[in-house]
A and B are shown apart, each in its own frame.
Chain A
Amino acid sequence: MRPFLYCLLALSLPASAANLRYAEDAAPPIVNPLFGASMTEARANELVFEGLYTDNKELATVPALAASAEMSSDKTEMTISLRTDVSWHDGKPFTAADVVFTIQAMQDRATASTEQGRAAWIQSAQAVDDHTVRLRFVRPEARPEDKLLFKIVPAHGFAPGLPVKRSDPFRNAPIGTGPYTVESFNEDNSVSFTASPDYGRAVPVGQITLREVSDKNYQAKLLLYESLEALVRVFPRDLAMLQNNRKVELYPYQTNSWWYVGFNMKRTPFDQVAVRQALSHMVSADELLGPVGTGDVLSGPFVKSSPFYNHDVAPWSPDLDAAAALLEGAGWTRAGPLWTKGTQQLKFKVVAPKSIDSIQEVAVNLQSMLKAAGVEVDLDFLDEPSWKARVWGDRDFDLVLSQWTFDRNEDVREQFYSTGSRNFSGYVSPEVDRLLDTSRDTLDPFVRKNSLRQVHARVHDDAPMIFLWTLDSYAALSVRIRSVVVHPFYFFTWITDWQMK
């Protein structure tokens, strides 16, 4: 039956000479960089939008929408001249007002942009004229262009004034300045992109289609049957098959990702460190990892090859005796199947996003593991809007099972700073705040490294999360796609150099 299905798919979706079809586990419900929380959205945004600056292939910062810039002598102000040859996809000119609008929308509390933290260092943005922007900074900035990589959106694309709403029609009719326009959101959950005729340079791959292929087991087969040209994340068990096929090339796409179980520390009993540590001792990350793929079990919020990983800190060992000692020390007893304290039982709900590959298998195994240790867990798998509303918005959960992916800065400030926009756990540690401030403010690489190694150790001990693992990660592309260089985080940054045979 399955081979028949593949053949059918292959027949029904003939390869087009200039259409690159890539698979995502879940299509983005919206394309709007102000509200991009997932890697899927980040990749789509890369096709449609541009920043003032971008990475070149050597990962150095180079101008994109900016033409040139001047810094004030005290490094608290930057005046940026914008390119005058750029139009939005609807033909309207790109101006300084768009830059100001983007920054203000990112910073606006009521907008609740997911990008808030990326603009927090800017005190004010002012349009000097149509193509000149002046930025004032909270503190002196030596190389502000390194932080001006976020995407710019058009002021005229939204209902006037702030806040910007996530539900604004822009979400399904985005307007960018990037190499591709969004042509359509399709009924099969695919998204079609077309090369923008007004982009400043040739775009050899004329069309791109993002296809939602939620069953990871099919993705590699669709690639082999030429119903896709690219997989952004190869299912680990498909690696051997794909690397032995001469129609396909593998590219390391080692974003710095780690899986975790996060506690809601605003809720009892997760406000008690002993309970969090006890639960950490109840989980065997090695056992949970086995069915998912190959990778490293972690002891903190960095991957093992990171300069910030603290190799002196060992992962919590699976140790039910140690867990029991911690719980008993905190007044819990286990007379029956569950741990109890007065009328309270260790019984709660884990929420997880449906869109993450293999997450249901991990969650079910976690549930069994905790049950054996005297903890009852209900599972709730959420679609993306529900996830964003409950976890990002209302913080309505006991535990979350999810994954964070970082660019090469591996900046965990938003996750662990007491006021961080991604600090879902509600973790508060003055010492960690101090270390994160030091790491942000220092101009000494050694100091940043060691500050973050100390953050690793402190966060491990405080256990706002159970850190699980990082997975080996690859992308796979048809050999028909040539001159491919994949950005280590955003994937499509250099797509205008890709060619299709």
Chain B
Amino acid sequence: MLLALLACVGEAPSAPPAASPLDAGWLATVTNRPEAFTELVDADRDAWVAVHRNDWLAAAGSTGPAGVRARAGLCTTYTVLRDIHAEAWKRLGEGWEALGTVPRGSPGPAYLVGAAEGRVGPDARGQDWAELVARWTPRVDATRAAAFAGSPTEPFGTRRAARLAAGSLEELRRDVPAPLEEEGAGSQRRTFWDPWHLAALARVSCAPEPTPEGLAGALFSAQLGAPGQPLDVALSAWGVAIPAGDDDLQSCREAARAIDDQLAAWVIHVTPSAPEAGRALLGELRLVDRTRGAALVQLATEALGSDRPRCALAYAELARDHADGRSITPVNSPTLYAVLAAANLYTGHTREALDALEVLVPAFPEVQGVDETVGDLAVLETLHRSGDSREN
């Protein structure tokens, strides 16, 4: 599919630009100097292969640059998932309380405070979250409240202490995911999942480490321009303005389409003169599709961070390879699905968030807790509705 972009029936760019930021980037390096790619990858083949197929968990154990890159991918993914968990608990807790059906002594408030604590750290930085923690802490039962003060109560306090102390991904991923606590039985059963797990995974995978230099720091990344050049600067050099401010999904869709045009133009421009091995890498490893997807996911992540969830959703949907849209693949990364889930959640489409989370669960069983919590929220949000069903 090199180039599906080329094969399009759509309007082809009339003339390739004389120079593109991509000429200074890793895509050009791999295409024009495939030996540089071979040399890098052969030094840590298994890990780079895993990075390429977005199997970051497999690559994260590498001590080389591929490991650093995989951990960076996990950092973004776990951070988005951590925030989803906190947001879901926030809305679930407040909605549940409004219904008046939180049983006396329920663990619910403690889990809400735990998820909020995971979102912002033990000192609850961030005004909104600090307020949430302050509002809910008095409703936490005495035993679990002691856990927040460091008392090793079972199982809540013990787990909290373990998560705060955890120092490695392996340690955090060793547990078989299961509810930390349950209350009731049968149809009255309620399950509560570790509220700190994703936060601890985010913390560990986001631990600062030196960024690899040169091709090792950029290979398979969203980077469009010269090494170290921020995405928006490269796009600006292309004349692609990334909408900021309003959360206008149409502007964001158009920006994404402008990126497509530039990538298509660059492929036309670069491939005739590239060595055969470089062209083969470009095509067989789907490097253009992959880079396009990664760039759009990065834009989606940034849009989420600037409170523009509709744009995030637009970018993420355009990033997704729909032909294999429910698997983790070289084009569809774990971050893509995490961002899709978050963008849906933040735009009120809670049920649709579950479609994206479900893709992550087989590879990331630790997502099961957030999947269940978002599911509880989805149920809460439709509790008063009577459904509609149709044939076909």
Contact = CB atoms under 8 A, between A and B. Distances in A.
Interface of A: 25, 36-42, 57-60, 117-118, 121, 141-144, 146-147, 149, 224, 239-240, 243-247, 249-252, 254, 256, 294, 304-308, 353, 355-356, 402-415, 422, 435, 438-439, 442-451, 454, 472, 474, 479, 482-483, 485, 488-489
12 contacts: A39-B391, A59-B349, A243-B321, A247-B9, A249-B253, A307-B375, A356-B392, A403-B391, A404-B391, A409-B385, A445-B95, A488-B351
Given A240-B322, A305-B354, A445-B379, 13 more contacts: A58-B348, A144-B384, A146-B382, A244-B5, A250-B322, A251-B317, A305-B355, A307-B375, A409-B387, A414-B389, A435-B187, A444-B96, A483-B250
Closest 4 pairs between A and B when the two form their complex, measured CB to CB:
A411-B387, A58-B348, A246-B10, A307-B375
B392 A38 contact: yes
A450 B385 contact: no
Contacts of A442: 101, 383
A482 B250 contact: yes
A317 B313 CA distance: 38
A240 B99 contact: no
B174 interface: no
Interface string B66-93: 0000000000000000000000000010
Given A353-B392, A409-B386, A435-B187, A243 B322 contact: yes
A404 B389 contact: yes
Interface in B93-131: 95-96, 99-101
B317 A252 contact: yes
A105 B274 CA distance: 71
Nearest to B6: A244
Interface in B313-328: 317-318, 321-323, 325-326
A39 B317 contact: no
Contact of A406 (B325, B348, B375, B387): B387
A408 B344 CA distance: 13
A60 B95 CA distance: 13
Contact of A224 (B9, B191, B321, B388): B9
Interface in B160-219: 184, 186-191
A250 B184 CA distance: 44
Contact of B358 (A224, A250, A294, A305): A305
B347 interface: yes
Nearest to B99: A443
A472 B249 contact: no
By secondary structure, the B interface counts as helix
A131 to B, nearest CB: 25
A131 B99 CA distance: 31
B379 A245 contact: no
Given A39-B391, A244-B8, A438 B384 contact: no
B374 to A, nearest CB: 8
A405 B391 contact: yes
A42 B388 CA distance: 10
A38 B389 CA distance: 8
A143 B98 CA distance: 12
A38 B388 CA distance: 11
A445 B386 contact: no
Contact of B391 (A38, A410, A479): A38
Contacts of A224: 9
Nearest to A446: B190
Nearest to B324: A294
Contacts of B190: 446-447, 450
B7 A118 contact: no
A305 B344 CA distance: 14
B392 A60 contact: no
B376 A59 contact: no
A444 B318 CA distance: 37
Interface in B298-352: 317-318, 321-323, 325-326, 347-352
A43 to B, nearest CB: 9
A90 to B, nearest CB: 27
B380 interface: yes
Contact of B390 (A38, A59, A413): A38
A252 B7 CA distance: 23
Contacts of B372: 307
Nearest to B321: A243
Contacts of B45: none
A410 B383 CA distance: 11
A294 B9 CA distance: 26
Contacts of B187: 435, 438-439, 447, 450-451, 454
Nearest to B92: A445
B354 A307 contact: yes
Contacts of B11: 246
Given A406-B389, A422-B389, A472-B326, A447 B10 contact: no
B4 interface: yes
> Counting chain B CB atoms within 10 Å of each CB, which of A146, A353, A438 scores highest?
A146
> Counting chain B CB atoms within 10 Å of each CB, which of A25, A305, A410 scores highest?
A305
Contact of B376 (A25, A422, A449): A449
A57 B86 CA distance: 23
B379 A118 contact: no
A59 to B, nearest CB: 5
Nearest to B378: A307
Nearest to B309: A58
A118 B386 contact: yes
A246 B352 contact: no
A409 B375 contact: no
Contact of A121 (B4, B249, B349, B386): B386
Given A58-B348, A247-B10, A305-B358, A450 B389 contact: no
Contacts of B92: 445
Contact of A447 (B188, B260, B351, B354): B188
Given A247-B10, A355-B392, A407 B387 contact: yes
A488 B382 CA distance: 14
Contacts of B379: 307-308, 445-446, 448-449
A407 B388 CA distance: 6
A292 to B, nearest CB: 13
Contacts of A410: 387
Contact of A252 (B191, B321, B348, B355): B355
Contact of A445 (B4, B96, B355, B358): B96
Nearest to B256: A249
Given A305-B358, A306-B354, A445 B383 contact: yes
B369 to A, nearest CB: 13
A32 B189 CA distance: 42
B388 A402 contact: no
B165 to A, nearest CB: 31
Contacts of A251: 317
Given A252-B317, A449-B379, A485-B249, A444 B101 contact: yes
Contacts of B321: 243
Contacts of B8: 244-247
A307 B372 CA distance: 7
A240 B385 contact: no
A37 B7 CA distance: 41
B282 to A, nearest CB: 16
B321 to A, nearest CB: 7
B347 A411 contact: no
Contacts of B385: 146-147, 149, 409, 411
Nearest to A25: B392
A141 B390 contact: no
A230 B98 CA distance: 41
B372 to A, nearest CB: 8
A254 B350 CA distance: 13
A243 B323 contact: yes
B24 interface: no
Contacts of B257: 246, 479
